[in-house]
């Protein structure tokens, strides 16, 4: 049984059968006729031969920084919900936050006949620039801005400024900051700038000694909180670049007799389930991670359907600040 015989039995052209198996446009009448023949004969196309002929295997490479991240899981869920409904499969690669592995996997996917790549990036190096400029297939960046590629990203600076501003409005007078490397443009640089902008707008000078840079982990949040809060002239509030860092900081406070929020306000970004169920619930900015995955997938689909040069688009998603107990200070408290 081959495509010519399917066409004869269904009473349609070979081109119509080809469109059917490649999910192209067909009238309902032709599609039903082909489906009937396929069901009766049990015919299945040779996917390997089809891939060699068309260089299309309906697979999208997805490069992610780590599997254990709740925010990354939300992004991947959003990507999957859109692409699988359109008949695509995901080829997931985990880089363990290693920029060299990101470049390695991008190079691998470039030669693996995937139809496109969705890249959840953190740091862009010259090696990233080199490979991205030579991908020769659709690429969508999720979580960061990057010139030359379609991007879906968050208003990280605005979210950080809003959360810091809330802390200052609630009585924080000496805000501290725990962030991540500024080489990470979104979570590191933009969130730090948002924190500093909110403090400046409130007329509050932030001292360098009240800012620390760590990793994306609760352990790092605990350690850096100890560095900032273990001094006599400590901050009375900590804005943390992620919820994981913030939860680690709250753990340090709990173990060292610093009441949250009375002695130290703490807030983060991410609106994670962990922050919502902590002993002191965490004030945080919700970023629309699942939506970012969905939008990245839609940008990918629009590029795959386009004939001719690929045009790039950028989409910035908003945020929503939710105040919880970690910043609701009792005005009568005196440390």
Higher pLDDT among residues 220 and 86, named by residue: 220
Question: Is the pLDDT score of 333 beyond 60?
Answer: no
Q: How confident is the model at residue 31 (pLDDT cuts 50, 70, 90)?
A: confident
Q: How confident is the model at residue 335 (pLDDT cuts 50, 70, 90)?
A: very low
pLDDT tens-digit readout, 131-145 = 998 888 899 999 999
Q: For 37-41, 175-179, 262-266, 273-277, which range has the lowest pLDDT when averaged over its residues?
A: 37-41
pLDDT tens-digit readout, 113-169 = 799 999 998 899 999 999 998 888 899 999 999 998 999 999 999 999 999 999 999
For the residues 220-235, what does the mean pLDDT come to?
96
**pLDDT value for 171:** 96
Give the Cβ contact number of residue 159 at 10 Å. Answer: 24
pLDDT tens-digit readout, 47-79 = 444 544 445 678 999 999 988 888 999 999 999
**pLDDT value for 122:** 83
What global pTM score does this model have? 0.80
Are 153 and 128 in contact by the 8 Å Cβ rule? The answer is no
What proportion of the chain, given as a percentage, has pLDDT over 90?
70
Question: Is the pLDDT score of 26 beyond 70?
Answer: yes
Q: How confident is the model at residue 46 (pLDDT cuts 50, 70, 90)?
A: low
Q: How confident is the model at residue 24 (pLDDT cuts 50, 70, 90)?
A: low
Question: Is the pLDDT score of 197 beyond 70?
Answer: yes
pLDDT tens-digit readout, 302-312 = 999 876 566 78
Structural domains in the chain, CATH included, are 3-45 (no CATH), 58-154+289-318 (3.40.50.2300), 156-287+321-327 (3.40.50.2300)
For the residues 9-36, what does the mean pLDDT come to?
81
Q: How confident is the model at residue 2 (pLDDT cuts 50, 70, 90)?
A: confident
């Amino acid at each position: 049984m081959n495509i010519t015989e399917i066409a004869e039995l269904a009473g349609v052209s070979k081109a119509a059968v080809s469109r059917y198996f490649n999910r192209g446009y067909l009238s309902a009448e032709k599609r039903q006729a082909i489906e009937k023949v396929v069901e009766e004969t049990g015919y299945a196309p040779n996917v390997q031969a089809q891939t060699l002929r068309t260089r299309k295997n309906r697979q999208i490479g997805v490069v992610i920084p780590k599997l254990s991240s709740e925010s990354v899981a939300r992004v991947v869920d959003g990507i999957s919900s859109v692409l699988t409904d359109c008949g695509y499969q995901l080829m997931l690669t985990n880089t363990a936050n290693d920029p060299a592995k990101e470049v390695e996997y991008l190079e691998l996917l470039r030669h693996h006949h995937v139809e496109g790549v969705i890249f959840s990036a953190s740091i862009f190096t010259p090696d990233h620039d080199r490979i991205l400029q030579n991908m020769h297939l659709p690429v969508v960046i999720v979580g960061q801005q990057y010139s030359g590629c379609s991007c879906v990203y968050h208003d990280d600076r605005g979210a950080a400024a809003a959360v810091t501003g809330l802390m200052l409005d609630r009585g924080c007078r000496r805000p501290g900051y725990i962030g991540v490397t500024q080489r990470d443009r979104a979570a590191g640089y933009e969130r730090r700038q948002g924190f500093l902008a909110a403090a400046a707008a409130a007329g509050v000078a932030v001292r360098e000694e009240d800012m620390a840079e760590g990793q994306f982990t609760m352990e790092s949040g605990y350690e850096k909180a100890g560095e900032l809060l273990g001094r006599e002239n400590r901050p009375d509030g900590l804005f943390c670049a992620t919820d994981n860092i913030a939860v680690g900081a709250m753990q340090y406070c709990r173990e060292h007799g610093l009441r949250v929020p009375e002695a130290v306000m703490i807030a983060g970004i991410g609106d994670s389930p962990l922050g919502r169920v902590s002993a002191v619930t965490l004030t945080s900015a919700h970023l629309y991670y699942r939506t970012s995955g969905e939008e990245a997938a839609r940008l990918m689909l629009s590029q795959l359907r386009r004939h001719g040069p690929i045009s790039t688009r950028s989409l910035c998603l908003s945020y929503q600040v939710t105040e919880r107990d970690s910043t609701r200070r009792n005005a009568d408290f005196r440390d």
